[in-house]
Structure 1
Amino acid sequence: MSDMVVKRVDDIIKSEEDKRSYRGLVLRNQMKVLLVSDSSTDKSAAAMDINVGSLSDPDHLPGLAHFCEHMLFLGTEKYPIENDYMKFTSQHGGMSNATTFPDHTNYYFDILPEHLHSALDRFAQFFLHPLFTESATERELNAVNSEHEKNVSSDNWRLYQLDRHSCDPSHPFHKFGTGNKMTLDIGPKERGIDVRDELLKFHAQWYSANIMSLAVLGKESLDELEAMVVELFADVENKNVEAPSWPVHPFKAEQMGTCTQVVPVKDIRNLNIVFPCEDLSQYYESGPGDYIGNLVGHEGPGSILSALKEKGWSNKLYAGYKEPHRGTGFFGVSVDLTEEGLKHTDEIILMIFQYLNMLKQSPPIRTYHDEQRDIAAMTFRFKDKESPRSYIESLTHKVQEYPFEHVLCNHYLLTDWRPEIITQVLENCTPDNIRVAIIAKKFEAVADQREPWYNTPYKLFRIPETTLESWRNAGLSKELHLPEKNDFIPDEFDLYPADKDITEHPAIVKDTAITRVWFKQDDNYLLPKTNLMFDFVSPLAYLDPLSCNLTHMFTQLFRDSLNQYAYAAELAGLNWELSNTKYGLILSVGGFSTKQHLLLEKIIQSLCEFKIDPKRFEIYKENYTRTLKNFSAEQPYQHAVYYLAVLLTEHSWTKQELLATMDQVTIDRLEAFIPQILSKMHIECFIHGNANKQKALDLVDIVENRLSEAVRMSPLLPRQLLLNRELKLEDGCNYLYNIQNDIHKSSCVEIYYQCGMQTKQSNVLLDLFAHIIQEPCFNELRTKQQLGYIVFSGMRRSNGVQGLRIIVQSDRHPEYVDERIEEFLRNMLSHLEDMPAAEFQKHKDSLAAQRLEKPKQLSMQSYIFWSEITSQQYHFDRANVEVEYLRTVEKSDVIAFYKQLLAEDAAQRHKISVHVLSTAEGGAGCDNPAHSVLNGNVENNLTPPATTPSPKQTTPINDITVFKSAHGMHPLVQPYMNITRKGNKCKL
């Protein structure tokens, strides 16, 4: 044993289907290490978890742990250039990121396998010798602040911080974890505190090897990985610190028995209740929290949710145990409220207590635990392979929490039965231990307090004793009972023998006027799972805004009606989804193959016999209307992406147009609409996985025969199967569409440079150019110029047309940001021209590796095939074909591509921008210009600062309809393979 390794564990329990090799190490500096050897991987990955997070922030510097996480990316003694680490991962087919949690911080990356050692070397310096340079510290404060500003109008963040704010003020959970300009810059400077010094102190105090866990996945053998890790991480200092834990609960007795009425940003309605309990993590082999959560959160007959739906009070309910941080836990129930349900929150809580009383009246039942155990064991045995990065990221913190032997199987192999722990948790769920939060817009009139960091309005009061007493005496309910035995749990896992004529890609195995069936027998993943996809194409689905709304209502009401039955299937690993698209309805069924046909039969039978429940209709109509209205509260970048799609897509109904027709959506109209959409359509099917050709045809017959019996189906005409086209922008154009948003303080710019139709050559050149500029774009606009936290560059492909897009969400004025993006793009010509041949080759190799990376799961491969089918391009070998062409591309080709389509003076340049201007208080478009936009000195206003360079003359888009009517459309991309258009064989 190396003198640098004091412990080695090779008997880590893994799934029967897992072909990787594992080893656990404890280094001499007490760092824990998990090694994963996978000779077949096309990506290597690593992650480091430090058992300290935002709860350990100094009281006078909220957000310091999060700020430290940001700063570690910006230079170390060995690699002082700020963007060296991210540039290296980007150039070698990888990416990197990090997350700060309340009690730990996680850093991770992936990389092409041959560059693992070099990436790990750079990564290790984070924990050895970070620089925390003064210039980077000053600038990165803006990124932390921008990240906070992004979250200010997010209801999830607001509710989480309000929960922390309302706990015991002396408990660390009370802290503000993310930090902002005030806590990390303005406030400290006023008190004479040097934040850089504090960063150095924090890193020196807490970044200790004995509270770190490292996980590394690579092609190398375990011995080679071990040698690599010892070489690079054995010198991380062990400061013998103790990982903090907080066994004292953040909510004392005086914080219990309270109700908080919260005003959200979006028009949402929720009831959240929590009961404090002990940290259950030590009982992972028996799963007591899951036992209770699975029963309280059940959605089948006799469940709380079913009873609430019957009364018209709720659509969704979630229940379960969670750990806010080490040492404590909560058991919580969250109920989505209807308008009527908001009037009956006390009765809903009473019903929850009635269910809890039912669980308490007798000892925990072993059969429910055994069913949970069997499902978990089945899931573990046939667990889908994850991408190396997400897999390693998820494992690294588990190394801190569990013995090496159980790092993979924790919560999956429930080998223990601890009914006394279940009883203990249940006994703690009493009215005297409850905390209630009700979230709804209607509380605006009564809210009398504001949470300081997010400015969330709320009212906090003690629950009346009469209400608590009614809950204490809740008794039982005849409506509620325990779930029946789950008959969907698979009882066999055999694989179908391979067909003699098995194909490499999907092939058509049936083609009629109404149905076309694509089939691909899986010969790669070899799991007892199958994915079924059915595209019910109907021109009625998106004929006009009213039809679109009716189709949406149909799918939502149908899903709701089948939920009780299908929930058991979902628990047993069978998932299904019915959704509406521009072209009709898509039904997908995925999971274990054995009993898939039973679920499919029930779905199609129910579809044919569907009857509208008037009560559920009114609830879903109101819910859908709120969803359309709530779009205004989405992030500014989401608005930019949405409006660009509206501008460029041939047919696209806006949220406003959909909302305007909701008053025409009636039960009578929907009842008449459903048989119309089902009777005239085309069914495009794809069966992929554990099935042979005959099984695939049998599954399709279930759908086709049932529908044919229920409705008289007739085929569509060929032109009714044509897809939407994309607007064709003219050469030299520079369009601008302006919109305003009064909710978020941030503004946003999305610039799209349309590059024409997809072809092999244009796809590759655009991919390569986007890959080359990705890291410089982030480094320049985000890291150096600090324009905003959200900076994205990449391709946009839609309807067979593609282009380059750059998105920046910023507190600066959109016109200023637009010019900064243009300046960046101007500089990319010299960046390309000066690029050494070796660096250009790295980009090509990196892109090739990304394109050739094999999907890790059957479902991901199914999605890739299905996308080719629904786009009617059928280029199933696209990655290999395009990478073959990529290898022939020269730097001069990319420069020519840039000069032809992207350069500012390019004759064939097609630019369109969407500017989302914030008119919220403090926003770039508000009347009080408080934000600086240029180097922190120039005030922001409705117009850009005078010092901003004048942009190229733009053409404003004042009316979307007029704009679209003045443009032609790109033709559709023709199929890659020779395939007969549907309907061509049919006689007129």
Structure 2
Amino acid sequence: MPALNHPHTQRLTLNNGLTLSVHHEPRLKRCAAVLRVAAGSHDVPGEWPGMAHFLEHLLFLGSERFPAPDNLMAYVQRHGGQVNARTSERHTDFFFELPPSAFAGGLERLCDMLANPCMNMEAQLREREVLHAEFIAWAREPSAQRQLKWLQPLNPAHPLRAFHAGNRYSLPVLRPGFQQALQGFYQQFYQTGQMTLSLAGPQSVTELQALAEHCSAVLHTGKAVPQLAPPALISSDEHAYQHIDGQCLSLMFAFDQLPPDSAQALGFLCHWINADKPGGLVAELRQQHLIDTLKAAPVYQFERQALLHIEFSAASDMAAHAARIQETFYDWLSFFSAHAEWPTLRDEYQLLQQRQHAVSGAMELARRDAEQQALRLSEQGVSALKSVLQQMLTTAHAASAHDWQLPAPNPFLRVTDEPVSAGLIRGQTSAHRGLRTFAQDRLRGRRDLSAMSFSSAIAPQNTEASMYLRWCLPGPLADTLLTRLQTSLRSLQQDARQAGVELVLSASGTDLQLKMQGFHTPMPSILEHALRTLAAPAADDCDVAPAPSLMPIRYLLKRLPELDQQGTATRISDLEQCWTRAQWDGLAVGLPASTQAAMASVLSKVPGTPNSQLPQPPALRHAWYLEPGDSSEQALLVFCPTPIGRLADEAAWRLLAHLAQTPFYQQLRVELQLGYAVFSGLRQMNGQTGLLFGVQSPHASVAEIYGHIETFIAQLPTLITALDETSFTQARASLAQQFSNASLGALQAAELLWQAKLAGHPSDYLTALYNELMTLDQATTLSAAQRIAHAENGWLCLATYAAPETFYQGRSGSLPTLQ
């Protein structure tokens, strides 16, 4: 049966041939659009590999109506949204998310860039170099190299075996034959018969449909074009094979004749393979010390074909244990297959899908609608699952020697609200529930049983809430103890995520932080389980597989908040010492009264001493941190912090980040072609706000990258003086709007409030920041730009190579003044 639409979703075909899906969700603060073109890397002519990916890049360069300074990317950045695209094997997705007030402008630009792209030769040559840099970075990633290896047994004639990323040599831009093929591919597939537009937001279905009809009128009309069916995935009789690559074992299953709804079936099966539950596959393999992690996922699906990848990883070489792992896997699969129909697991899976749907943001809802994801496993899906299992279990298996069990129900999917009277302090009424704001904590100067502040800055509404717990420790945690705590939380994190709550434990310097964000109802129960686990984590009796290697710039971004500002403090390796000497505080945002009350009773179990007056993190200093890696590419982050304590300074820094984003990208990525990983923006970490610049380059040295960033920062004052009064006012208003109640989502607001608490700001921070932005003048902004250019508050740099001499030299020279 076809995927069921959500009651607030309508799917139809417009007069121009465009397939449209519109989703009305009143709880959303943002809107999203996903436009899917039914053409991908496997649909291009074989002699021009990478053409589909190349075209995706070209379309973002702008159009005659919306050139680069005002194209979709620049527009979305100006309005605090997100935008990206992805070229897959048989489709290409373009997607963005914006506040409702800016959504029409974003959709207008999206449709126009697909209908009227600017693809002149100079732009193509320039963008090909960017794509070439992206290809080099991708090819050097271990995960990409492993993928190429485990695809080798497939049919050589299948496009999965071919090269599709595109680079300088596969995209001969100057050849007439290439240009003819590029235009032919664009004209054949980039028309309404090949497109599906999915919109999600708080607007009514009627409003969203009218907006889609208006903006999509510029698209080229056409009829659906059948995509050529590929050859068989595998040419031998064996449709399953394995690949061992050091610490990774991959089991591959190739399916060529799948029945309808097989995508549902594979999603259902992978969910239960991945389930980290007692009596399940993951638990059994870990207990035998055979693996550390397991991940099952389809890596390719088109029509009746699919390629299923099941990856096992461990800290040691997998070759010695591969046979036992494979035998155990097939034993579990036989056990699972014997429970035909799976009524209990189907009910559990439906609850999970419903919860995920209930907490999804606009982008995720639009994506789900574009893919027509079902909220349950249909009867046809059950038949498909039986067919999948039959193809995987080609031989009979003896009675199991393992005591397998079906996964226990997720307790957090069925939680009920606590009685509203629970957790009240004597003398309180429901009006006081939630204790105090963090501003009151400071003013009263007292230490209560709970150091958790329940913020009223964001009114409890819908389903989303956030909670932060911070422990201040006498020293930084030893890596082994932190890993032990994080590993012990894995099963709980999986249950929490399925119930709509992200649970993350992280360390920064001498601080340990536990964060929960998402569906508020199960949070007290999840917190209670987490505290119990942290107080008595599992024994550290097995090695942990190393985390997947990250590309240099991503690794630096991960390390940036973790830089130890406490010097050489002794690292804590004893758990009892950790909790005995810890002091803690916290913040909860968006919790309704009943959940606050239930949470208050759980907080009495937090280890350590509550302290509502923990000191602020120390100020960052002018410093260069070195994080060398295995990659030949160089990367650099430059963080320019604000002065501590003044909201007026933070407002100016935010406006500078807002104004610098597009020109920084244009100069360093487009004009200088340093690489494809080029970005700037405002970042907050551990209560410190700053302007962040980042670059990864396949050819430029760190010294060269630093020189370009330094030059750009020196130009910030000029960027401000070049603005007329109208442009400055418009930019200021656009930024301030992002912090208004109408635009700010609950989770985003909570993160801002937590960073404000760490920085020592009052509890009315959001209102105060909005007011500071609205009254910010050009002279103050220019002064901030000059202070950043002179590094008056220092620059914190994190790089893959040592600092150039110029980093430590003073700056001189005149700076422009505002006329």
Q: Aligning the two structures, in what range does the TM-score lie when normalised by the shorter sequence? A: 0.7 to 0.9
Asked if 2 retains the 8 angstrom alpha-carbon contact of 1:307 and 1:479, the reply is: no
Which amino acid in the other structure matches residue 429 of structure 1?
Answer: M
Residue 311 of structure 2 corresponds to residue 427 of structure 1: no
Letter of the structure 2 residue corresponding to residue 695 of structure 1: A
- 1:696 alignment partner in structure 2: 599
**Corresponding position of 2:93:** 106
**Greater shift after overlay, 500-509 or 335-344?**
500-509
User: What residue number does 1:274 align with?
Assistant: 252
Partners of 2:664 and 2:680 within 8 A in 1: yes
Aligned match of 2:479: 549
Spell out the pairing of 1:232-247 with structure 2 (5 A cutoff). 232-244=215-227, 246=229
Which residue of the partner structure matches residue 845 of structure 1?
Answer: 733
Q: CA deviation at 1:725?
A: 1.1
Task: Measure the CA separation in 2 of the matches of 1:370 and 1:42.
Answer: 31
1:149 aligned partner:
136
Q: Deviations over 1:766-793 (max 9, x none)?
A: 1111111111111121122212101112
Paired amino acid for 2:235: K
For 1:793 and 1:549, locate their aligned partners in 2 and report how far apart those are by CA, in whole Å: 30
Q: Is the 8 A contact 1:575 1:589 kept in 2?
A: yes
- Give the Å deviation of 1:99: 1.5
Q: Give yes or no for contact 2:40–2:90 (8 Å, CA) kept in 1.
A: yes
User: 1: CA distance between counterparts of 2:796 and 2:146?
Assistant: 37
Report the AA paired with residue 916 of structure 1.
T
Partner of 1:725: 618
Unaligned residue ranges in structure 1 (runs of 5+): 1-10, 16-20, 264-268, 403-409, 432-470, 659-668, 708-712, 730-734, 919-942, 944-950, 958-988
Contact 2:241 2:251 in 1 (8 A): no
Is structure 2 residue 581 aligned with structure 1 residue 650?
no
- For 1:834 and 1:528, the matched residues in 2 are separated by 45
Distance between the aligned counterparts of 2:409 and 2:555, measured in 1? Answer: 46
Q: Given the alignment, which residue of 580, 583, 600 partners 1:682?
A: 583
| 2:658 paired residue number | 771
Contact kept, 8 Å, 2:453 with 2:587, in 1: the verdict is yes
**Match runs of 1:729-744 below 5 Å:** 729=622, 741=629, 743-744=630-631
Q: Secondary structure at the match of 2:414?
A: coil
The match for 1:250 is: 233
Moved more, 757-766 or 194-203: 194-203
Change (3 A) 1:722 1:52: same
Secondary structure of 1:851's counterpart equals coil
Q: 2:417 & 2:597 partners in 1: Cα distance?
A: 18
SS of the residue 1:354 aligns to: helix
Map of 1:397 onto structure 2: 370
Give deviations 1:453-494, integer Å, cap 9, x for gaps: xxxxxxxxxxxxxxxxxx865542233233345555416468
Matches within 5 A, 1:82-101: 84-101=71-88
What does 1:91-240 correspond to in 2, within 5 Å?
Answer: 91-185=78-172, 192=175, 195-217=178-200, 222-240=205-223
TM-score in terms of structure 2 length:
0.84
Specify the alignment match of 1:582 in structure 2.
509
Cα deviation for residue 548 of structure 1 reads 2.0
* Aligned match of 2:425: none
Q: Cα deviations across residues 624-646 of structure 1 (Å, max 9, x unaligned)?
A: xx55xx8xx54332465578768
Instruction: Give the corresponding residue for 2:808.
Output: 955
Residue type matched to 1:423 in 2? K
One-letter code aligned to 1:886: L
DSSP 3-state at the match of 1:539: coil
- 2:552 maps to which of 613, 632, 636: 636
Out of 501, 517, 530, the residue aligned to residue 452 of structure 2 is 517
1:757 has 2:644 as partner: yes
1:700 maps to a residue whose letter is: L
Cα distance in 1 for residues equivalent to 2:217 and 2:610 = 69
Residue aligned with 2:678, SS: strand
Structure having the higher Rg: 1
User: Which shifted more, 230-239 or 174-183?
Assistant: 230-239
- Percent identity between matched residues is 18
CA distance in 2, matches of 1:824, 1:305: 50
Tell me, in whole angstroms, the C-alpha distance in 1 between the residues paired with 2:26 and 2:759: 36
Give, in whole Å, the separation in 2 of the partners of 1:604 and 1:65.
Answer: 49
Structure 1 residue 107 displacement after superposition? 1.5
Q: Following the alignment from structure 1 to structure 2, what is the Cα–Cα distance between the partners of residues 858 and 843?
A: 24
- Residues 280, 77 of structure 1: alpha-carbon distance in 2 compared, 3 angstrom cutoff: farther
Matches within 5 A, 1:411-490: 411-414=374-377, 416=379, 419-430=382-393, 473=397, 475-484=399-408, 489-490=413-414
Corresponding residue of 2:763: 876
Q: Is the 8 A contact 1:132 1:196 kept in 2?
A: no
Q: Tell me, what secondary structure is at the counterpart of 1:845?
A: helix
Match of 1:795 in 2: 682
Match of 2:578, SS?
helix
Which residue identity is paired with 1:371? Answer: E
Is this contact kept in 2: 1:749–1:915, CA < 8 A? Answer: yes
Q: By how many angstroms is 1:513 displaced?
A: 6.4
Once the two structures are superposed, what CA deviation does each residue of 1:295-343 show, in whole Å capped at 9, x if it has no partner?
A: 3333222212222122111122233555434442234422222427552
Q: CA deviation at 1:885?
A: 1.6
Over residues 490-539 of structure 1, what are the superposed CA-to-partner deviations in whole Å (9 max), with x where a residue is unaligned?
16468959932467984679964664232358984545676554434331
For residues 310 and 577 of structure 1, do their structure 2 counterparts lie closer, same or farther at Cα, with a shift above 3 Å needed? Answer: same
In 2, Cα distance between the equivalents of 1:110 and 1:528?
A: 20
Aligned 8 A contact 1:116 1:218 in 2: no
Q: Is the 8 A contact 1:70 1:140 kept in 2?
A: yes
TM score, norm. by length of structure 1: 0.71
The answer as to whether partners of 1:364 and 1:422 remain within 8 angstroms in 2 is no
Distance 1:588 1:231, change over 3 A: closer
Change (3 A) 1:799 1:332: closer
Structure 2 residue aligned with 1:946: none
| Match of residue 32 from structure 1 | 19
Deviation at 1:126, TM superposition (A): 2.3
Do 2:458 and 2:749's aligned partners in 1 also have CA atoms closer than 8 Å? no
| Count of matched residue pairs | 794
Mark the CA change 1:230 to 1:203 in structure 2 (over 3 Å): closer, same or farther.
same
Q: 1 CA distance for matches of 2:493 and 2:683? A: 36
2: CA distance, partners of 1:298 / 1:87: 41
What is the CA–CA distance in structure 1 between the aligned matches of 2:203 and 2:410, rounded to whole Å? 43
Give the match's secondary structure for 1:846.
helix
- In structure 1, C-alpha distance between the alignment counterparts of 2:259 and 2:363, rounded to whole Å: 25
1:976 aligns with none
User: 1:519·1:696 contact (CA, 8 Å) conserved in 2?
Assistant: no
| Structure 2: stretches of 5+ with no match in the other structure | 422-428, 811-819
Deviation (angstroms), 1:174: 2.0
**SS class of match (1:314):** coil
Contact 1:293 1:319 in 2 (8 A): yes
Range with bigger deviation, 213-222 or 745-754:
213-222
Q: Is the CA contact (8 Å cut-off) linking 2:635 and 2:695 kept in structure 1?
A: yes
**Partners of 1:369 and 1:50 in 2: how far apart?**
32
- The correspondence for 1:784, drawn from 671, 687, 703, is 671
Q: Give the whole-Å Cα distance in 2 for the aligned partners of 1:319 and 1:687.
A: 35
Q: Which amino acid aligns with 1:479?
A: D
Question: In structure 2, what residue type is equivalent to 1:840?
Answer: F
Check whether the contact 2:353–2:376 (CA below 8 A) recurs between aligned residues: yes
Match of 1:301 among 251, 261, 278: 278
Q: 1:495 to 1:30 in 2, by over 3 A?
A: farther
Instruction: Name the CA distance, whole Å, in 1 between partners of 2:610 and 2:62.
Output: 63
Paired residue for 2:721?
A: 833
